[in-house]
Chain A
């Protein structure tokens, strides 16, 4: 079979793969934006002193991290209609990805903030800063530098996770592959092309990650404490 690997068919389906690739990019960007928002809020709640605010955040984060994305996806896909929300698959998919990555991002941000040495906080307090000022001027700028690489790592995970959306018929890259595989009985051509496209995205994001580390490294002076 591999003897007659049909490049011609791949070329024929290239527009479809192209659309799939673009769709995957789009929904990944949307989902990541959503995940960032959810993650920041959840993390903020988790760092509060009040039990009332921490509990829902902790439950959310723990529940998401201990269950598979696919189960979460099906939970929303089959469950939301029951609650009266009839949503297009794309929306359900983006929602599922946002909620899933949001929990991981919350933990990444928390780790970043906690990695700032106590001495920094104390310096801020000693200068008479309020909590918000300390956060804005001292803690968050430093935490930012630490969290960018793992955030980009999570972005890579999210792009790969988006492949699961093909299982609820969302028109994205993996689904394009499934269509070629079933239409023309050419699973090899289909999925190898799909894999190649994901690798493109992967190396693109890795390059971004490395570039950002260099950019961040040059702008900030490592303190010697």
Chain B
């Protein structure tokens, strides 16, 4: 019986690859876009304009306060009604990128606020403009605080990508769901699905904690 199932499983190999590919593509695109947008949002939010900071903050709160599943449903079912033609893949990208941007925005804000005010004052006193201050003095130092949670956030996003299976997107989790209909061994099928995610995520988790240890300890805030 089990050999029959294993045989079926191996037959599902192409489907599994498709699912893996979909998860990979979803994750990579939304991570890349989300990082860019998240950094931009974070810099803006940590800036001087209170209205801008407030608006961004409100949006981020909205995204952090609702389940990703509900967000995906909202995007997939409602945007078409507003005239935006949408397939599941695009909805998934939009949802994940939005999620990534909001969480990364908060990480960046925390990093920027962690830079000692003395540094900002020194840059200010030399006559550096706001943008120059950011680029030359604040952001390089903020990166030390930003990097570990950023990598951690990447792991969370790869895992969150599994939720897009709910709108029919054939990612790794949906492949498991499809396969288990034919090969009724839930333990085996989803153990394998889990293994696939594990292989990708675990090294990243280790990287995040190693980064945290190295960057946290060597916080070369110059000792007086």
Is A in direct contact with B (CB under 8 Å) within the complex? yes
Q: Is the interface of A mostly helix, strand, loop or mixed?
A: helix
Query: A66, A77, A80, A198 — which one has the most chain B CB atoms within 10 A of its CB?
Result: A66
Least distance between A148 CB and chain B CB atoms (Å): 19
- Residue among A69, A75, A167, A199 with most chain B CB within 10 A: A75
Which B residue sits closest to A194, measured CB to CB?
Answer: B70
Residues of A close to B202: CB separation below 8 A: 62, 66
**Is A11's CB within 8 Å of the partner chain B?**
no
Set B77, B159, B191, B198: member contacting A75, Cβ < 8 A: B191
| Smallest CB separation, B64 vs chain A (Å) | 8
Q: Name which of B121-129, B130-138, B142-150, B182-190 contacts chain A.
A: B182-190
A131 at the binding interface (Cβ < 8 Å): no
Residues of chain A with a CB closer than 8 A to B161's CB: 68
CA distance A222 to B104 in the complex (A): 32
| In the bound complex, CA of A181 to CA of B72 (Å) | 14
With contact pairs A79-B186, A79-B190 given, residues A68 and B162 touching in the complex (Cβ less than 8 Å): yes
Q: How far is the CA of A82 from the CA of B74 in the complex (A)?
A: 35
Chain B: number of interface residues, binned into ranges: 35 or more
Interface membership of A136, Cβ < 8 A: no
Within 8 A of B (CB), among A26-70: 62-63, 65-70
How large, as a class, is the contact surface on chain A? 35 or more
Judge whether B197 and A163 touch: CB under 8 Å.
no
**Given A65-B205, A77-B186, A79-B187, do A199 and B166 touch, yes or no (CB 8 Å)?**
no
In the complex, 10 of the A-B residue pairs with CB atoms within 8 angstroms, ordered by the A residue number, are A2-B81, A67-B159, A67-B201, A68-B160, A74-B180, A74-B190, A75-B193, A160-B67, A187-B81, A202-B65
Give the A-binding residues of B (Cβ under 8 A).
62, 64-71, 73-74, 77-78, 81-82, 155, 159-163, 165-166, 173, 176-177, 180, 184-187, 189-191, 193-194, 197-198, 201-202, 205
